[in-house]
């Protein structure tokens, strides 16, 4: 049942409509005919019974004389007239003399006396009815008329007639219905098909500015109307969308401008922050160097304190005391005899002290120079951003290392340098320095966290096709893969005291310079490599080629 | 009435043996026939003095029935009227409802019919060619059976109405 229904659903609307109409017609015709037939056959049966009763009465009346005079021939003659009727199976008259006049008996089952014809047993047969009518003459019964009727044949004939008529009517009705359906169906299907075609056209072309033609005021007309309204709505919505998009673009531009301004402010703030960081680094380094200065100063001071200068005074006083007889003193006095040797040792001692002080002072001088250098470097980098100058990359790297040198040696980190020859570059020094200082310090922290004795940072300068890469490679804790992507995000940090700003601002600064800052790590415990890429200027590229 | 019916049947049951020469049996049947014939005929109301007046059957000439007819009508009615049977002369014939003309009266038939005239009298006789000579109902024995001949013209002249069932049994109804 489901499959035919599905097939019916998929049928085009025209044939479907025809099918529905035809099915309805046939159903109605069948129902009507069945009802009519049932009613008719019931009516016909009661009519037949009435009719047969009347017939029996008339025959009885007509055969009164025959019965009264016991005229068998006349009785047969009278009743034979009934033989023309299909539904009378047999007729018999019980005459006044007690004889039976059997006019006819179609079944030929009954004996001449008609006993079977009038036998009671036949009364029960459903379609075989026995009618008995008294033959009266002047108020006296002179005989009895028996008629046996068989309605089955008549009923069958009626049924056949009905079937034939019904088939004929069905055929004609179906033909008429088919013709009417074919003629009238376009009234319904045409507007639907037109609308469907129109909708398909709209869908394919995407043109919402057209309108379907409304053909009537029925539901299809309303549907077409509604569709047209929908098209209007789509059109107006499209317009609104376009407008909204334009406005959105404006707003995005505006917001971009705002963001750019904020970004500039942020960069400036970062630069200042970076400078402050460098300054603190500088102070730290200066502090470290001052430590050395202090040590040198104490050493010199201790040396001076331990100097045998006072002994020299004693020798001088002893010699002044024996000024008159110096030769005796030197020759005879036991003290005088030892004196030259003592003076010689004193002189050695003083010479050694002087040497030590001189060397210490030299170191002190170097330390002070270092401080001067650090301070002047800071002054160098504290200049206004955007200024570029041509520098040696390795020198720049060395500067950044120097700023962390104290911390690195303090934490026992071994430093390894792998410098390739790279050309001089015109760069914003302070930015690169800021990035490198940050990278080195991160590397130091990463090494620190391992608690392994073998801590190492490798700084590598390498020339690539289009850029120079400065890599800071540590053998520290490494970075889990999930953090690699967000390590440059603003606010991302793994350290408690970190602010998540360094790498973020470093990456931004690298980008500003046309370069990049990238990270590589095989995972936790495998160390990490941060590489700052700086583009090689076009001129250099051609030169190199 | 039942008794009459039974006697009728009894009489008619014998009709099959009428071919035999027993005259009394023949007249028994004929008596019943006369009585039965009376039941298929309607007289005009004027033929009776009142509603209780009996139907009079007159026997003109010799009485071939003997007492048979008298016995047959005893207690019987036709259309709720008693039946009286008596021998009548020609003069009285017109006052009867049924006149049975016996065979010996054959030669007097014209006179008889002239006397009766248009009176409402049903004339019955076993005389040959009775109806051709002006009678209404003729009785004839044919193949051992009683046959009727009816002259409707005579009946209608006498304002008698003979029912069609009866006419069906008759041989001639002209």
The pLDDT tens digits of the residues spanning A329-379 come to 888 888 888 888 888 888 888 888 888 888 888 888 877 877 877 777 666
Q: What percent of chain B has pLDDT over 90?
A: 31
pLDDT band at residue B4, thresholds of 50, 70 and 90? very low
Which of B113, B119, B147, B145 minimizes the C-alpha distance to B132? Answer: B113
Beta carbons within 8 Å of A512's beta carbon, 6+ residues apart: A267, A431
- How many percent of chain B have pLDDT more than 70? 85
| Cβ neighbours of residue B148 closer than 8 Å, sequence gap 6 or more | B33, B37, B137, B138, B139, B140, B166, B169, B170, B171
Do B36 and A137 lie within an 8 Å CB cutoff? yes
DSSP per-residue codes, chain B: -HHHHHHHHHHHHGGGGTTSS-HHHHHHHHHHHHHHHHHTEE--GGGSSSTTPPEEEEEESS-TTTTHHHHHHTT-EETTEEEEEEEE-HHHHTT-SEEEE-GGGGGGHHHHHHHHTTSS-EEEE-STTTTTTT-SEEEEEETTEEEEEE-HHHHHHTT-EE-HHHHHHBS---
- C-alpha dihedral, A270 to A274 to A280 to A286, nearest 10°: -160
Instruction: Specify the pLDDT at position B6.
Output: 43
Given a cut of 90, is residue B43 above it in pLDDT? yes
Nearest to B166 among A65, A77, A141 (CB): A65
**Using the beta-carbon criterion (under 8 Å), do B9 and A96 form an inter-chain contact?**
yes
CA-based nearest distance A74→chain B, Å: 6
* A138 interface with B at CB cutoff 8 Å: yes
Helix (H) or strand (E) holding A201: helix A151-205
DSSP one-letter string for A264-313: HHHHHHHHHHHHHHHHHHHHHHHHHHHHHHHHHHHHHHHHHHT-THHHHH
Q: Give Cα A29 to chain centroid, integer Å.
A: 58
A517 pairs with which residues across the strands? A532
Q: Band of the pLDDT at A496, cuts 50, 70, 90?
A: low
C-alpha A11 chain-centroid distance: 37
* Residue B85 binned pLDDT confidence (cut-offs 50, 70, 90): very high
| Contact between chains at A65 and B5 (C-beta distance less than 8 A) | no
Name the residue in chain B with its Cα closest to that of A96.
B9
Q: Which residue has the higher pLDDT, B6 or A108?
A: A108
- State the CB neighbour count (10 A cutoff) for residue A415: 17
Q: CA B145 to CA A110: how far, in whole Å?
A: 26
Both structure tokens of A210: 């057209």
Helix (H, G, I), strand (E, B) or coil at A166: helix
CB proximity B7 to A under 8 Å:
no
Chain B contacts of A137, Cβ < 8 Å?
Answer: 36, 39-40
Tell me how far apart the alpha carbons of residues A515 and A507 are, in angstroms, rounded to a whole number: 9
Measured between beta carbons, the chain A residues lying within 8 angstroms of B162 are none
B149 to chain A: which residues are within 8 Å by CB? none
**A109 band by pLDDT with thresholds 50, 70 and 90:** low
> How far, in Å, CA of B159 to CA of B174, rounded?
16
Q: How far apart are CA A539 and CA B5, in angstroms?
A: 159
DSSP-derived secondary structure letter, A126: T
Dihedral class, residue B100 (left if φ above 0, else alpha if ψ from -120 to 50, else beta) = beta
Q: Can you give the pLDDT at residue B42?
A: 92
Answer yes or no: is pLDDT of A283 > 60.
Answer: yes
Is pLDDT above 90 for A458? yes
Q: Classify burial at A333, counting beta carbons within 10 Å of its beta carbon; exposed 0-12, middle 13-18, buried 19 or more.
A: middle
| Residue A95 with chain B: CB contacts under 8 Å | 12
The answer to whether the Cβ–Cβ distance between B168 and A138 falls below 8 Å is no
Compare all CA atoms of chain B with the CA of A141 and give the residue at the minimum distance.
B5
Residue-wise pLDDT for A230-278, tens only, equals: 888 988 988 899 999 889 889 999 999 999 999 888 878 877 777 777 6
Cα four-point dihedral sign A274, A275, A279, A285: positive
A70 to chain B: which residues are within 8 Å by CB? 9, 12-13, 15
Residue partners of A508: CB distance under 8 A and separation at least 6: A267, A270
CA atoms within 13 A on the CB side of A374: 25
When scoring A138, A139, A144 by the number of chain B Cβ atoms within 10 A, the one with the most, hence best to mutate, is A138
Residue holding tokens 């936790």? A524
Confirm or reject contact between A145 and chain B (CB < 8 A): no
- The confidence band for B1, taking pLDDT boundaries of 50, 70 and 90, is very low
Phi/psi of residue A115, nearest 5 degrees: -60, -45
Closest CA in chain B for residue A77: B168
pLDDT tens-digit series, residues A135-154: 988 888 889 998 888 878 77
Specify burial of residue A399 (Cβ count, 10 A radius: 0-12, 13-18, 19+). buried
For chain A, give the mean pLDDT.
Answer: 82
CB B31 within 8 A of CB B11: yes
* Locus of tokens 């033929």: B47
Residue B10 pLDDT class (50, 70, 90 cuts): very low
pLDDT digits (tens, 9 = 90+) for B138-161: 998 887 788 888 998 899 999 999
Cβ burial of A236 (10 Å; 0-12, 13-18, 19+) is exposed
Q: Which residue of B has its CA nearest to A62?
A: B165
What mean pLDDT do residues A374-398 have?
Answer: 73
> What pLDDT score does A461 carry?
94
With contacts defined as CB-CB under 8 Å, which chain A residues touch B25? none
Q: How far is CA A162 from CA A33, A43, A86, in A?
A: 8, 14, 18
What's the mean pLDDT in A7-17?
84
Q: What is the pLDDT of residue B84?
A: 92
The C-alpha torsion from A223 through A229 and A234 to A236, rounded to 10°, is 180
B1 close contact with A: CB closer than 8 A: yes
- Probe site for chain A from B7, B39, B77 (most A CB atoms < 10 A): B39
What is the Cα–Cα distance from A165 to A162, expressed in whole angstroms?
5
Instruction: Tell me what pLDDT residue A497 has.
Output: 61
Tally helices (H) and strands (E) across chain A.
Answer: 15, 11
H/E stretch holding A460 = strand A456-463
Two structure tokens written together for B4: 């009459």
* Strand, helix or coil for residue A480: coil
Encode burial over A489-514: b for 16+ CB neighbours within 10 A, e otherwise: eeeeeeeeeeebbbbbbbbbbbeebe
Cβ neighbour number for residue A268 with a 10 Å cutoff: 11
pLDDT at B148: 87
Burial of A475 (0-12, 13-18, 19+ CB in 10 A): buried
A130: nearest Cα among A117, A113, A143, A142:
A117
Note whether B84 and B57 are within 8 A (CB): yes
Least confident span in A41-45, A273-277, B111-115, B152-156: A273-277
Lowest mean pLDDT among A126-140, A487-501, B149-163: A487-501
- One-character DSSP codes across A61-110: HHTHHHHHTT-HHHHHHHHHGGGG-TTEEEEEEE-TTS-EEEEEETT--S
A160-216 tens-digit pLDDT = 888 898 889 888 988 988 898 888 888 888 888 888 888 888 888 878 888 888 877
The pLDDT assigned to A541 comes to 63
Per-residue pLDDT band for A119 (boundaries 50, 70, 90) equals very low
CB-based contact, A67 to chain B, within 8 Å: no
**What is the chain B residue with the closest CA to A98?**
B9
Query: Listing from the earlier edge strand, what are the strands of the sheet with A100-105?
Result: A100-105, A88-94, A140-150, A128-137
The neighbour count for residue A16, using CB atoms within 10 Å, is 15
pLDDT in tens, A502-529: 788 788 888 888 899 999 998 888 899 9
By the CB < 8 Å criterion, does B43 face chain A? no
Measured distance CA(B134)–CA(B76) in Å, rounded: 29
Question: Over the range B128-142, which residues count as b (16 or more CB within 10 Å of their CB) and which as e?
Answer: eebbebbbbbbbeee
d(CA A297, CA A291): 10
* Closest CA in chain A for residue B77: A138
Percent residues over pLDDT 70 in chain A: 90
Rounded CA separation A479/A485 (Å): 10
B171 has a chain A CB within 8 A of its CB: no
Other beta carbons within 10 Å of A217: 9
Decide if B46 touches A, using CB distance below 8 A: no
């Amino acid at each position: 049942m489901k499959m035919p229904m599905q097939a019916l659903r998929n049928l085009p609307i025209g044939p479907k409509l025809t099918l529905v109409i035809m099915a309805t017609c046939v159903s109605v015709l069948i129902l009507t005919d069945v009802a009519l037939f049932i009613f008719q056959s019931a009516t016909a049966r009661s009519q037949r019974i009435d009719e047969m009763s009347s017939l029996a009465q008339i025959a009885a009346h007509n055969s009164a004389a025959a019965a009264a005079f016991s005229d068998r021939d006349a009785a047969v003659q009278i009743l034979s007239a009934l033989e023309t009727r299909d539904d009378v199976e047999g007729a018999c008259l019980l005459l006044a003399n007690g004889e039976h006049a059997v006019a006819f008996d179609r079944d030929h089952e009954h004996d001449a006396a008609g006993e079977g014809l009038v036998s009671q047993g036949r009364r029960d047969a459903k379609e075989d009815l026995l009618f008995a009518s008294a033959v009266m003459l002047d108020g006296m019964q002179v005989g009895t008329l028996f008629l046996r009727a068989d309605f089955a044949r008549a009923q069958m004939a009626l049924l056949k007639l009905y079937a034939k008529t019904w088939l004929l009517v069905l055929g004609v009705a179906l033909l008429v219905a088919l013709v009417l359906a074919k003629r009238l169906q376009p009234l319904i299907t045409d507007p639907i098909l037109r609308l469907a075609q129109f909708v398909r056209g709209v869908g394919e072309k995407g043109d919402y500015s057209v309108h379907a033609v409304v053909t009537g005021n029925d539901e299809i007309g309303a549907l077409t109307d509604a569709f047209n309204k929908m098209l209007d709505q789509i059109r107006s919505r499209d317009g609104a969308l376009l407008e909204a998009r334009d406005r959105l673009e404006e707003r995005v531009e505006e917001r971009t401008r705002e963001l750019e301004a904020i970004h500039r402010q942020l960069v400036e703030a970062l630069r200042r922050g970076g400078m402050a960081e460098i300054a603190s680094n500088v102070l730290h380094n200066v502090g470290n160097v001052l430590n050395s200065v202090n040590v040198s100063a104490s050493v010199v001071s201790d040396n001076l304190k331990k100097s045998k200068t006072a002994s020299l005074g004693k020798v001088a006083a002893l010699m002044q005391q024996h000024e008159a007889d110096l030769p005796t003193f030197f020759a005879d006095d036991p003290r005088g005899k030892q004196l030259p040797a003592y003076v010689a040792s004193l002189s050695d001692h003083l010479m050694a002290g002087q040497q030590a002080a001189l060397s210490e002072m030299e170191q002190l001088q170097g330390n002070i120079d270092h401080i001067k250098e650090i301070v002047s470097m800071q002054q160098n980098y504290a200049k206004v951003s955007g200024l570029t100058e041509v520098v040696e990359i390795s020198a720049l790297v060395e500067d950044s290392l120097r700023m962390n040198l104290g911390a690195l040696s303090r934490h026992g980190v071994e430093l390894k340098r792998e410098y390739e020859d790279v050309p001089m570059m015109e760069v914003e020094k302070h930015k690169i320095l800021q990035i490198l200082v940050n990278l080195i310090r991160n590397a130091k922290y990463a090494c620190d966290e391992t608690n392994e004795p073998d801590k190492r940072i490798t700084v590598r300068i390498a020339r690539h096709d289009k850029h120079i890469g400065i890599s800071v490679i540590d053998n520290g804790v490494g970075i889990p893969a999930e953090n690699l992507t967000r390590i440059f995000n603003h606010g991302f940090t793994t350290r408690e005291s970190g602010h998540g700003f360094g790498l973020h601002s470093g990456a931004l600064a690298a980008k500003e310079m046309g370069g990049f800052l990238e990270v590589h790590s095989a995972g936790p415990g495998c160390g990490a490599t941060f590489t700052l890429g700086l583009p090689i200027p076009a001129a250099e590229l051609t030169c190199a080629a | 009435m039942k008794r009459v019916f039974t006697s009728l049947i009894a009489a008619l049951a014998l009709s099959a043996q009428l071919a035999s020469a027993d005259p009394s049996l023949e007249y028994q049947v004929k008596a019943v026939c006369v009585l039965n014939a009376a039941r298929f005929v309607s007289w005009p109301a004027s033929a009776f003095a009142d509603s209780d007046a009996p139907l009079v059957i007159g026997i003109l000439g010799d009485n071939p029935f003997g007492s048979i007819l008298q016995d047959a009508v005893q207690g019987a009615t036709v259309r709720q009227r008693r039946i009286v049977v008596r021998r009548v002369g020609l003069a009285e014939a017109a006052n009867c409802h049924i006149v049975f003309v016996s065979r010996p009266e054959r030669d007097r038939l014209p006179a008889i019919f002239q006397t009766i005239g248009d009176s409402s009298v049903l004339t019955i006789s076993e005389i040959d060619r009775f109806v051709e000579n002006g009678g209404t109902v003729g009785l004839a024995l044919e193949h051992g059976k009683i046959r009727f001949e009816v002259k409707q013209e005579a009946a209608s002249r006498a304002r008698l109405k003979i029912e069609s069932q009866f006419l069906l049994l008759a041989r001639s109804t002209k």
